[in-house]
Amino acid sequence: MLTGDAQKFYGLLFGIGFSTLLITQQMTIFVNLVERGASGVYNAPEAEVWVMDPVSRTTDVSYAMPGTALDKVRAIPGVEWAVPHLRAVANVRTKDGDLEGVTVIGVDDATLIGLPKRMAVGDKSVFFAPDTVVIDDVGVDRLFSNGASPLGERLELNDQRAIIRGIADAIPSFTSQVTLYTRYSSALNFVPGTRNRLSFVLVGVAKGETPEAVAARIEQETGLKAETRAELAQAGVNFIIENTGIPINFGITVFLGFVVGVAIVGLTFSLFLRDNIKQFGALKAIGVTNSKIMQMVGVQAGLVGLVGYGIGVVGTIAFIRGFGSNPFFKGFYIPWQIPLISLAAVVIILALTGFIAIRSVLRTEPAAVFR
């Protein structure tokens, strides 16, 4: 019956599809966005334990430690290696005379631990050239939006000369701020001095040890805060959830998607059933039971729901892929739980609206067909 009425059929498809798209797309953006709170951790894949001042909370909210912290950590049993890691903010004056706030990350001079896994352009040997900085791909988009190659470009970084010699393939930060990677010793020159400069000590654990055990030992013996990679990543995510309005904003949009779905689908469903009430009455008169009619409507609603849901999910995939080249959406993916949540929402929408709409059919007396 439902597929026989093109207007209502497409109306229901639109309602379900739009709801699914809105719920799936917004939840996907939300999850990926809050995961950016952990990008600092993900961009330093070798580090198994991060050691920091006890007041530090995330990779972006940290309090510098004295340089002696590095030696303390290296002395802890179970620590295979420990390297310094500096994260600081600085200002860049671009060639065009614009001012741009940047994050400067200083990685270990000798091992370059703390860098993203891959370089998009160039290789890691460029770090050993003087005044080298490597920019992340978001930074290229921000500072060189005219399409010019950044390689070889000179920047005025906190009144110091810096030369871009490579592009890092990095996960953007939550704020998509430009990030410049350099060696730790160079970073100390680029960033204005305070007595303590060491943001983190990155640690690799010895064979046979677990990061949790080593982290606990470091905390106990140094008084510093030590977190495993997973713990610090989660702390970054939690910081964004707790300190921004993002969950509420996205939550409202997802809720509105659900409400719009209920409204469109409910209205269309009710109109469809009301328009076909004579047919349902005829079926009941002939001897079709209420449970068979409910099965009929259920199958049709299920079909519409499945197609609409498919359209919504495919729309979300198209959206994520379509915007994949935009650095803001770099690395975005759809966690498998989100389509399941959308599916549950679609089932609830259909069950709720179907239940309300079908009551009129179930209450219809077969004799109504003769009136």
Partner 1 sequence: MTQQTTPGCAPEAAICARGITRDFEAGQTTIRVLHGIDTDIRPGELTYVVGESGSGKTTLISIMCGILYPTEGEVRVFGTDIYKLTDTELVNFRLKNIGFIFQQYNLIPSIDAAANAAVPLIAQGVPIKEARERAKVLLDKLNIGNQADKLPRQLSGGQQQRVAIARALVHEPRLVVCDEPTAALDASSGRRVMDLLREVAVSPDRACIIVTHDNRIFDLADRIIVLEDGRITHDGTEMPDDH
Q: Which residues contact partner 1 (rule: CB under 8 A)? A: 1-5, 278-279, 281-289, 292, 365-367, 369-371
Rounded to a whole number of angstroms, the minimum distance from the CB of residue 12 to partner 1 is 13
| 95 vs 359, beta carbon nearer partner 1 | 359
Residue with tokens 């997802």: 254
Rounded to a whole number of angstroms, the minimum distance from the CB of residue 274 to partner 1 is 15
Q: Check if the beta carbon of residue 126 is closer than 8 Å to that of residue 165.
A: yes
Rounded to a whole number of angstroms, the minimum distance from the CB of residue 271 to partner 1 is 14
| 119 vs 283, beta carbon nearer partner 1 | 283
Q: Check if the beta carbon of residue 178 is closer than 8 Å to that of residue 160.
A: no
Rounded to a whole number of angstroms, the minimum distance from the CB of residue 283 to partner 1 is 7
Other Cβ atoms within 10 Å of 3 Cβ, number: 10
| 9 vs 319, beta carbon nearer partner 1 | 9
What DSSP designation does 124 have?
Answer: G
| 98 vs 365, beta carbon nearer partner 1 | 365
Rounded to a whole number of angstroms, the minimum distance from the CB of residue 14 to partner 1 is 19
Rounded-to-integer distance, Cα 260 and Cα 258, Å: 5
| 281 vs 354, beta carbon nearer partner 1 | 281
| 2 vs 187, beta carbon nearer partner 1 | 2
Rounded to a whole number of angstroms, the minimum distance from the CB of residue 269 to partner 1 is 15
Report long-range pairs for 239-246 (Cβ below 8 Å, ≥24 apart): 239/37, 239/57, 239/58, 239/60, 239/61, 240/33, 240/34, 240/36, 240/37, 240/174, 241/34, 246/30, 246/33, 246/34
Interior CA angle at 142 toward 136 and 145, to 5°? 115
Burial of 98 (0-12, 13-18, 19+ CB in 10 A): exposed
Indicate the pairing of strand 200-205 with strand 49-52. antiparallel
Q: Check if the beta carbon of residue 58 is closer than 8 Å to that of residue 239.
A: yes
| 116 vs 281, beta carbon nearer partner 1 | 281
How far are the Cα atoms of 270, 278, 315 from residue 5, in angstroms, in the given order? Answer: 13, 15, 24
Rounded to a whole number of angstroms, the minimum distance from the CB of residue 369 to partner 1 is 6
